Amino acid sequence: MKKSLTTLLAGAALALLALNATAQEAAIRKALADSIPQFAKIDEVRPTPMPGLYEVRVGTDLFYTDAKGQYLIQGELMDTKARRNLTEERMTKLTAINFSELPLKDAFTIVRGDGSRKLAVFEDPNCGYCKRFERDMQKVDNVTVYL
């Protein structure tokens, strides 16, 4: 009986926290949309490791705000103790592409050496930097390049 009461109370506490988080997210969304029209289409609001600070994602742009959505910060969030750039880590996750999901059947394929390393290249044929990169890639061996 005692164990089931503890489980019930723990479940109720978790449900209350989830409800509070949802209400907090809705409040932040409303406050930012009312203040800044570009924030009418917020993709995600979530708490950060810093108490009272929330991440606001619009596409792949990250912003930070307080619990009321009154203040907005554009910049990087750093964990100084762990020496980690939390914004950079989040952006890496958001913009990651699963190599196996690329439409490689539509690409031109160049194999050099045994082709053991794989590289997908998206380039502009009129871009000077892309042309230089292509010249530098001539020196790389044991690679399969998908253009």
pLDDT of residue 125: 86
Q: Which two tokens stand for residue 121?
A: 């290249």
List Cα–Cα distances, 137 to 108, 114, 117, 140, in angstroms. Answer: 15, 15, 13, 5
pLDDT of residue 116: 93
pLDDT of residue 43: 94
pLDDT of residue 40: 87
pLDDT of residue 23: 84
How many Cβ atoms from other residues are within 10 Å of residue 70's Cβ? 11
Q: From the first residue on, what is the mean pLDDT of each consecutive set of 10 residues in the chain (147 residues)?
A: 56 50 86 90 94 94 95 95 96 92 92 93 92 91 93
